[in-house]
Structure 1
Amino acid sequence: MSFILVTNDDGVHSPGLACLADAVAEFHQIVIVAPDRNRSAIGHALTLDSPLRADEIRRGVFSIDGTPTDCVNLGVHGLVEGKPLLVVSGVNLGANMGDDITYSGTVCAALEAALMGIPAIAFSLDAREFTHADLIRVSTIARNLVRQVLIIGMAEGTFLNVNIPTGEINGICLTCQGKRHYGEGIIQKTDPRGRIYYWIGGGIAGFENIPGSDCNAVAAGQVSITPLRTGLTSEVALKEMADWDLSRTLD
């Protein structure tokens, strides 16, 4: 059986997940495998020290007590027969641009699929809440992009990170990964018992002005499509380090 696997990191009951599933359902049978709760900013985490539970809450819709990466693994290897033609992840509530992609469970679910040789797309909406108008726009964009990927295919070891601005769309473009700037990263407070506790993650202060980047595109009201790769080797560093005397590290 061939199918499209749909997942996310916001949880199985997210309106964004339902929107994405509906958008791609016209192409093939879909199977939804998503976390049972919000697992945002969990990155590429894989559950290795505890068993996973999968509940089929509706036909073809599985709720998993694990991470987005777990969901992709179960969707590909455990829950249903066959192999996905495509994995789509999202629609995430909030953009995943610049450095955010390393934290994003939405993006890393697509990364996991690409590591398995399965074409994958991550979708995110640059908003704090889903509106009906935004979901209609996202649905149209996802449907049209998925159609092209199913027809044309995708380069091996590549997956797509798509960020969609809220409100009026001023165009769509291919982009590179941008660079975010963050405010204070740690917030320290004291609880009623006098014990210190911490919140990780300060406010976003902005982004670097990098022409052609995902951050610049979304700020201009454009849909950003960034092709990412699974390989992390720096070709530039390999060339620069070619003259290093590495034998000295063994002395």
Structure 2
Amino acid sequence: MAISTTRILVSNDDGISAKGIEILEKVARSLSDDVWVIAPESEQSGAGHSLTLTTALRVRKLDDKKYAVAGTPTDCVMMAINKLMKDNLPTLILSGVNRGGNLAEHVTYSGTVSVAMEGTLGGIPSIALSQCIDGVHPIHWETAETYAEEVIKRLIAQDWQHDVLMNVNFPAVAPDQVKGIRVTEQGRRQILGVQVDERMDPRGFPYYWFGLASDSGVPGLETDLKSVREGCISVTPLHLNLTHDDMRRALAAEIQGPLAE
């Protein structure tokens, strides 16, 4: 059964004023007459699946069906499902379009992907979308803008398992250089380490910036990394169950049972 686009929630981790969410809202409105935008007040990149528990959560209404939340991407989805849209829940959640790819192990840091995770936990089909960048050329926002609608339409026409979310990455090339869509597996980088940049503020106190170092090595044949490097749109189904079944069975055979007195 095709997934309904009757009511769409759009969110992100780059913030309510980001270029990517402007693009995704436009795409969502081409699919539905009922689009809500509920996103962080400011950038929350790297927030992952974090939730605000120790401070007050403030919500600012910008327009009919448009809200800025002073919290994380996960806060936004929880606020939508449990408060702002609780009487008529979204039938589809779209997250992004993120500035930069969310590939390989970086999905565990990604607030963009976490929006889709939280939506999936709430029983709502969810898609995370990201526009890869190469750090040299201007961001090809036009690539996501050109192909997002078609990719979403292809995905929502399929049957999904209830605990699966979709992670879409557009390659860092112009639209006419995109070679197609590939369904991929999550890749794995060979990370060289985290760059810790130490600086000094005007009062003489040190502060630090984290930066992710370049990856090395050649990714596997069917990974998201290889797909975008070769100019293809990567679509990766992600699973919420993190249990490693082979290890679970091996451990059960060896250590499961009564404890010694």
> Out of 7, 10, 26, which is 2:11 matched to?
7
> Is the Cα contact below 8 Å between 1:2 and 1:83 reproduced in 2?
no
CA distance in 2, matches of 1:248, 1:97: 42
Equivalent runs, 1:157-176 vs 2, <5 Å: 157-167=163-173, 168-176=177-185
* Equivalent residue, structure 1, for 2:113: 107
Q: Contact 1:93–1:130 (CA<8 Å) still a contact in 2?
A: no
Find out whether 1:98 has 2:98 as its counterpart.
no
Q: CA deviation at 1:188?
A: 5.2
> Is the CA contact (8 Å cut-off) linking 1:41 and 1:104 kept in structure 2?
yes
Aligned Cα RMSD in Å? 2.2
Distance 1:58 1:156 in 2: 32
Q: What does residue 144 of structure 2 align with? A: 138
Q: Aligned pair in 2 of structure 1 residues 238, 64: CA closer, same or farther (>3 Å)? A: same
Structure 1 segments unaligned to the other structure (5+ residues): none
Counterpart among 70, 79, 85 of residue 75 in structure 2: 70
Q: For each residue in 1:172-218, what CA deviation from the matched residue of structure 2 results, as whole angstroms up to 9, or x when unmatched?
A: 10000001233331425352666554332342233542110000111
Distance 1:208 1:111, change over 3 A: farther
Match of 1:179, as an amino acid?
R
SS of the aligned residue for 1:152 comes to coil
SS at match of 2:222: coil
AA matched with 2:253: D
User: Aligned AA for 1:74?
Assistant: M
More divergent stretch after superposition (200-209 vs 1-10): 200-209
Contact 2:171–2:178 (Cα < 8 Å) also in 1: yes
| CA deviation profile, 1:19-67 (whole Å, cap 9, x unmatched) | 0110121222110000011100010001111221111112221111000
Q: Give the aligned length.
A: 249
Among 213, 238, 246, which residue is 1:236 paired with?
Answer: 246
Residues 189 and 219, structure 2, Cα contact 8 Å, conserved in 1 = no
- Structure 1 contact 124–162 (Cα < 8 Å) conserved: yes
Deviation at 1:248, TM superposition (A): 7.3
Q: CA deviation at 1:2?
A: 4.8
Q: Which letter maps to 1:21? A: E
Q: Pick from 234, 237, 260 the counterpart of residue 227 of structure 1.
A: 237
> Is the contact between residue 119 and residue 153 of structure 1 (CA under 8 Å) also seen in structure 2?
no
Residue from 211, 217, 224 that aligns with 1:214: 224
Provide the rounded CA distance (Å) in 1 between the counterparts of 2:78 and 2:232. 32
- TM-score w.r.t. length of structure 1: 0.91
Q: Which amino acid letter does the alignment assign opposite residue 93 of structure 1?
A: R
Distance 2:231 2:253 in 1: 45
1:24 is aligned with what amino acid?
Answer: A
- Counting aligned pairs with the same residue, the percent is 31
| Partner residue, 2:91 | 85
Moved over 6 A (4+): none
Change (3 A) 1:2 1:49: farther
Matched-pair contact (CA < 8 Å) for 2:195–2:213: no
Shift of 1:242: 2.8
Change (3 A) 1:189 1:15: closer
190-199 or 96-105, larger mean C-alpha shift? 190-199
Give the secondary-structure state (helix, strand or coil) at the position aligned to 1:83: coil
- Contact 2:127–2:166, Cα closer than 8 Å, also in 1: yes
Deviates more, 1:184-193 or 1:151-160: 184-193
**Partner of residue 18, structure 1:** 22
Cα distance in structure 2, aligned partners of 1:177 and 1:234? 15
User: Cα distance 1:245–1:160, how it changes in 2: closer, same or farther (>3 A)?
Assistant: same
For residues 154 and 130 of structure 1, do their structure 2 counterparts lie closer, same or farther at Cα, with a shift above 3 Å needed?
farther
